[in-house]
Amino acid sequence: MPRGYRKYCCDDCKAESFHHWIERNRAARMRCPACGCTRLELVTDEAKKDQMSLNEVAVYGHRDMSRPAHELDSTRKVVE
């Protein structure tokens, strides 16, 4: 399986399918290919832990998000 795909299980029909992570961000949402339901759950424990860590960043923010943007760009050097 190519990188970025996770295995999901449909809550209604229990069909399992692979979806790319970018489908979670689309307005049309992920849908079960068998019944069209939008309630899909991750199957593997590793994928569930990964999703929980991503949700924490979305809720609490990354540790560098409180710093001004110009401080994050430390690689730039002003040439005189």
Over residues 10-67, the pLDDT tens digits come to 999 999 999 998 888 888 889 999 999 999 999 988 888 888 877 776 666 666 666 6
| pTM summary value | 0.65
**Residue 41 parent element (H or E):** strand 40-42
Domain ranges of the chain: 5-61
Residue 48 near residue 7 (C-beta atoms within 8 A): no
Distance CA 31, CA 37 (A): 5
Q: Which CATH architecture has domain 5-61?
A: Single Sheet (2.20)
Task: For residue 38, give both structure tokens.
Answer: 């939008």
